[in-house]
């Protein structure tokens, strides 16, 4: 059969296209039914605290994901620059996840703790003051805009509905104590969301100004937790290959 005859016959072209898509789909989907788990077994990964989650919301609102990926790919050059390649487990509570390959700026999967809070604040206000060649725009309003957290409980309830283990009753709280430890379980309790947010912002003082809780507090809190949950030193070099 000549390719021209396929291109000029709309019905045949549709049938063959559907056949190719069906075969490709089956090749990708069928193996998933024979895999016990696609998420690595690691310790330390937890949902974001209320303050970190609001920071993530701001990160998405400002479109930071359009220039920064959060996925270190398993290539030597990437691991030398950014650290251990990203795990599925690290993004299991992200809705939506920030993986991708578009990088106008560097990958941020492991930026947490790499710089001080003061550096992050100054970089967000005026990137060129720290990195003269940067083309990143400034976000000075984050430091002067009060953080809106009146609806933090509703945000956490919405995430709970899609599988994030925030607790809303004693049974769920107890399950989180067993899974994450009591200190973390308290931070994941929806009933204490607002109090937890305020306490973390005051204790962390992420924007350097304790007079009020700003959007900068939340943004920096989020950036500082990225890539810090898993201690890769406790795993052997070939451990994660078992999950590929």
Query: Could you give the 3-state DSSP secondary structure of residue 68?
Result: coil
Q: What is the pLDDT of residue 33?
A: 80
The string of DSSP codes covering 200-237 is: HHHHH-TTS-TTS-BHHHHHHHHHHHTT-S--GGGS-T
CA dihedral 45, 142, 60, 37 (to 10 degrees): 0
pLDDT of residue 173 exceeding 70, the answer is yes
pLDDT per residue over 208-238, tens digit each? 999 999 999 999 999 999 999 999 888 887 7
- Give kind and range of the element (H or E) at residue 10: helix 10-29
Q: Please report, for the chain, the start and end positions of each structural domain, with discontinuous segments joined by +.
A: 3-34, 50-231
Which tokens go with 172?
């769920």
The residue ranking higher by pLDDT, 155 or 13, is 155
Options 3.40.50.300, 1.10.760.10, 3.40.50.2300, 1.10.3720.10; CATH of 50-231: 1.10.760.10
- Looking up tokens 């890769």 gives 232
Percent of the chain exceeding pLDDT 70 equals: 98
Q: Which pTM was predicted?
A: 0.85
């Amino acid at each position: 059969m000549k390719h021209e005859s396929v291109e000029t016959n709309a019905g045949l072209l549709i049938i063959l296209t559907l056949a190719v898509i069906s075969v490709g789909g089956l090749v990708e989907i069928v193996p998933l039914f024979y895999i016990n788990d696609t998420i690595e077994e690691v310790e330390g990964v937890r949902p974001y605290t209320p303050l970190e989650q609001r920071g993530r919301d701001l990160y998405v609102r400002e479109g930071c994901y359009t220039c920064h990926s959060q996925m270190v790919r398993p290539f030597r050059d990437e691991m030398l620059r950014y650290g251990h390649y990203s795990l599925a487990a690290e993004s299991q509570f992200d809705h939506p996840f920030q993986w991708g390959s578009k990088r106008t700026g560097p990958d941020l999967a492991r930026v947490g703790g790499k710089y001080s809070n003061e550096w992050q604040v100054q970089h967000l206000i005026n990137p060129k003051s720290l990195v003269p060649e940067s083309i990143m725009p400034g976000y000075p309003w984050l430091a002067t805009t009060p953080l809106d957290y009146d609806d933090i409980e509703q945000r956490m309830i919405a995430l709970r509905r899609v599988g994030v283990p925030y607790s809303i009753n004693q049974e769920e709280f107890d399950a989180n104590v067993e899974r994450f430890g009591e200190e973390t379980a308290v931070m994941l309790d929806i009933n204490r969301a607002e109090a937890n947010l305020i306490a973390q912002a005051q204790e962390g003082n992420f924007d350097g100004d304790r007079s009020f809780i700003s959007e900068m507090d939340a943004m920096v809190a989020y950036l500082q937790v990225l890539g810090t949950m898993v201690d890769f030193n406790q795993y052997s070099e070939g451990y994660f290959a078992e999950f590929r």
